[in-house]
Amino acid sequence: MNYDKEENVQSSWTLKALILFVLRNNIRMCQSLYDGLEEKLSRDYLYDNLSRVIFIFIYLSVSIALFIFVIVYRVQQQLNWLEVIARICGMQLNFNCMMMIVLMLRYTMRLIRSNRILYNLVPVDDAISIHKMIGCWIVVLVFIHALFHMIYFGVGSLGK
């Protein structure tokens, strides 16, 4: 009997130590993210990186517009919500794949560099890092898109 009590006390102590370790690391990570965010939202940083901010704003605006367009268009067709989510991810995939290719076209980059207005709107020097970031986002979208199509087909086959 005492052995069981000691084992419970030991496992309880181990669990508490693990929870404290995880919380301490998360607090440090959140604090470093907050410090970095505070620096990046300063007026000087935004002024120095205006082309990045404008590009991200336009990119997010187009993504949100595509999201809303798919919801409105597909809900009018009375599709299942699983299929709507899969189609949203599919539309986002189309847009992101286009952006990924356009950011790596040599002649397009040359045109942007030669045009003063476009040069101020598009962060040409960050094209490779944006290309990589969009590539990671495409991987996430592909997974979600495929997952919701599989769930939709699975649910549809159960109903028959």
Amino acid identity at 103: L
- Do 24 and 56 lie in a common domain? no
Q: What is the pLDDT of residues 77-113, one digit of tens each?
A: 777 888 888 989 999 999 999 988 888 888 888 888 8
Q: What is the pTM of this model?
A: 0.67
Range of the domain at 125: 48-159
- Do 5 and 81 lie in a common domain? no
- Do 17 and 66 lie in a common domain? no
Q: What is the pLDDT of residues 22-63, one digit of tens each?
A: 666 666 666 665 666 666 667 777 777 788 888 888 899 999
Burial of 129 (0-12, 13-18, 19+ CB in 10 A): exposed
- Do 84 and 15 lie in a common domain? no
- Do 19 and 94 lie in a common domain? no
- Do 17 and 75 lie in a common domain? no
Domain count along the chain: 2
- Do 140 and 92 lie in a common domain? yes
Question: What is the secondary structure of 6-57 as a DSSP string?
Answer: HHHHHHHHHHHHHHHHHHHHHHHHHHHHHHHHHHHTSHHHHHHTHHHHHHHH
